[in-house]
Structure 1
Amino acid sequence: MVLSADATMVLLAAGLIFLLALLLGVWKYRQMAVSAEHVAHPYVDIAHRAALLYSFATLLLAAFVELSDWPPPVDLAAAGIVIFFFVAAIGSYVYHGWRRDTDNQRRHPVRGTGLFMVALMVGEIGGFAVLLAGFVRAQLW
């Protein structure tokens, strides 16, 4: 089976996010091994789990890209926006885990956090809605 180029790129992104999740698992294990309580920093744990979940969510995006009726640039843009926000979220968790500066980034949010969260919601929901509409158009109509 030969996948479309756009689906192949999204599948590659899923694989890279999964690889990141595995590497974050090493970091999490290391923190657990040296901690007196045998737990990692909450944001190291969150980064690891989020990367695992986002890698599989990106696989779902790849399936919708492959089955969509939109032109490849539309599918890639829609999936790319979603993937960007997945990776940005993981990055913020890694940042807080590395700095060990908080166990709740919403407690003392930095300037722009609220705007970023709105952009994340619009980007992720909107990007996936485009892919879902392309799937419906191709497969159901």
Structure 2
Amino acid sequence: MRSGPGIGTDTAIVLLVAGLIFLVALVLGVWKYRQMIRSEEHLAHPYVDIAHRAALLYSFATLLIAVFVELSGWPPVVDLVAAGVVVAFFVAAIGTYVYHGWRRDTDNQLRRPVRGTTVFMVGLIVGEIGGFAVLLIGFVQAQLW
């Protein structure tokens, strides 16, 4: 265990998740590469490509969220729940992309959406925007007012 002042536990958890998402992105990059070298067109399935890119982007977005968690004035549990909602939707999206890449069942999951897609998308919109808004407001209150 380290001693002295450091980042909050809530921030450490979000940073750990960012690192795990980045690790997944690197593994997905290997999968993408393997598909590219085996394909006559030298392309991976669109959803393998999307999963890889999304995981890379979401890992860095999660780092940004960790900064707002650390600098927010809300209690740690509020920050962790708000960040958790956003990151849960990031992970769910990556998982969906991996699923479609593994199954090779579509190149556009919204062309013939499955039951619950609209509900999930509305939840994603509300959860990601709402969760980040909570963190942004906590930051503004703690750092600017």
- TM-score when normalising by structure 2: 0.96
CA–CA separation in structure 2 for the residues paired with 1:103 and 1:67 = 40
Instruction: Tell me the amino acid that sits aligned with residue 19 of structure 1.
Output: L
Determine the structure 2 residue equivalent to 1:93. 97
Determine the structure 1 residue equivalent to 2:136. 132
CA–CA separation in structure 1 for the residues paired with 2:133 and 2:84 = 13
Q: Indicate the percent of aligned positions where both proteins have the same amino acid.
A: 77
Determine the structure 2 residue equivalent to 1:67. 71
Post-superposition, which runs of at least 4 consecutive aligned residues in structure 1 deviate over 3 A?
Answer: none
Q: How does 1:20-31 map to 2 (within 5 A)?
A: 20-31=24-35
Q: 1:19 aligns with which of 9, 20, 23?
A: 23
> Alpha-carbon deviation of 1:14?
0.3
Unaligned runs of 5+ in 2: none
CA–CA separation in structure 2 for the residues paired with 1:115 and 1:138 = 34
Unaligned runs of 5+ in 1: none
CA–CA separation in structure 1 for the residues paired with 2:50 and 2:57 = 10
Determine the structure 1 residue equivalent to 2:36. 32
Q: What RMSD in Å do the two structures reach over aligned CA positions? A: 0.6
CA–CA separation in structure 2 for the residues paired with 1:16 and 1:137 = 30
Determine the structure 2 residue equivalent to 1:106. 110
Q: Any idea what the Cα deviations from partners look like across 1:65-88, whole Å, max 9, x if unmatched?
A: 000000000000000000000000
Determine the structure 2 residue equivalent to 1:42. 46
Q: 2:61 aligns with which of 57, 60, 65?
A: 57
Determine the structure 2 residue equivalent to 1:4. 8
CA–CA separation in structure 1 for the residues paired with 2:86 and 2:17 = 11
- TM-score when normalising by structure 1: 0.99
CA–CA separation in structure 1 for the residues paired with 2:6 and 2:22 = 22
- Secondary structure in structure 2 of the residue aligned to 1:106: coil
**Match status 1:78 vs 2:82:** yes
> Alpha-carbon deviation of 1:2?
1.2
